[in-house]
Amino acid sequence: MAIRLAEITDGVVINADASQVYADLRVLSARPDPAEEARAPHRLFGYRDAAEPCSAADWAADAKGAIAAAREEGKLPILVGGTGLYLRTLIFGIAPVPEIDPAVRAEVRALPVEAAHAALAAEDPAMGHLRPQDATRIARALEVIRSTGRSLSQWQAELSGGIGGQIAVAAAILLPPRDWLRARCDARFEAMLGQGAVEEVTKLRARGLDPMLPAMQAIGVREIGAWQDGLIDRATMVAKAQAATRQYAKRQYTWFRHQPPAAWQRIDAQLNDNEIDKIAIKLRDDALTE
């Protein structure tokens, strides 16, 4: 839909997916292929090295630049992707958390995720809702409380830097049938294995990067790595990666149904090409009349 919208508006497709920013994850992040990229200009896809973590604030700063450049060229900026935190940070702002003490960060990042989760529950109960498996967010919350003495939830109540008041947003949230979505999640990972996902993980792991980096935590990387290390068999690797994909999609589905503004259009249907064109045209008209 984003590409179709770009084609009918002479627009620019701007990535808003946290995994698709990494050059090392073309296959496992399902980045647009060369044929798709040739149909319209694409920005912020595969532009970061896996060794360089990209936070929501980092991406929002880059997205502001990409949006400004598109507008200067007279093109419509089209944001597409499933990372709600990225979009929320760009549009509504981010918590103004001070720089984290490097010693605190190193100490926290060295903790096993189970120990970090237990420490967070004790030191910052307000962030106790984080899932025990959510290593990146747990580490972030723990380093914030230890470095600043305030809960991340308190900082998040003081958002700043969003561009929502400076631009008009025409939005569509796609919420396809859940059975269809689950089947697509399973088929997608099988397709990735045939497209070079194993080779991609092999190259990534050969770099000896910090396993806590976001790129190393991407769905598929850990599962394929465990298989390569002989810890699980291939069938288990596939099942685990498919389950992780479905679970992530479920969280995305819930977030996008409830968190964005009520005025953002929700589309509860599986779309064919004609319906995609109709929605793209409506988004174009909404954007151009705002």
What pTM was estimated for this model as a whole? 0.81
pLDDT, tens digit, 9 for 90 and up, residues 83-118: 999 999 999 998 888 889 999 999 999 999 999 999
Instruction: Examine the domain organization and report whether 19 and 138 are in the same domain.
Output: no
On whether the CB atoms of residues 139 and 108 are closer than 8 A, the answer is yes
Position of tokens 């149904």?
257
pLDDT, tens digit, 9 for 90 and up, residues 151-187: 999 998 887 888 988 888 899 999 999 999 999 999 9
Structure tokens at 275: 């319906």
Question: Which strands sit side by side in the sheet containing 42-43, from one edge to the other?
Answer: 42-43, 12-15, 77-80
pLDDT, tens digit, 9 for 90 and up, residues 185-219: 999 999 999 999 999 999 999 999 999 899 999 99
pLDDT, tens digit, 9 for 90 and up, residues 43-59: 999 999 999 999 999 99
Q: What is the pLDDT of residue 151?
A: 95
Q: 209 is in which domain, residue-wise?
A: 2-94+161-289
Helix axes 135-148, 102-109, angle to 10 degrees: 140
Q: Total domain count for the chain?
A: 2
- C-alpha pair distances (Å), 193 with each of 21, 123, 208, 230: 20, 41, 22, 17
Q: Rounded to whole angstroms, how far apart are CA atoms 91 and 104?
A: 30
Structure tokens at 270: 């599986």
* Helix (H) or strand (E) run with residue 83 in it: none
Give percent of the chain with pLDDT exceeding 90.
78
Q: Report the phi/psi class of residue 30: left, alpha or beta, with left for phi > 0 and alpha for psi in -120 to 50.
A: left
CATH number of the domain enclosing 144:
1.10.20.140
- CA 218 remoteness from chain centre: 10
Instruction: Examine the domain organization and report whether 114 and 33 are in the same domain.
Output: no
Instruction: Examine the domain organization and report whether 186 and 119 are in the same domain.
Output: no
Instruction: Examine the domain organization and report whether 232 and 247 are in the same domain.
Output: yes
Interval 79-83 mean pLDDT: 94
Instruction: Examine the domain organization and report whether 9 and 81 are in the same domain.
Output: yes
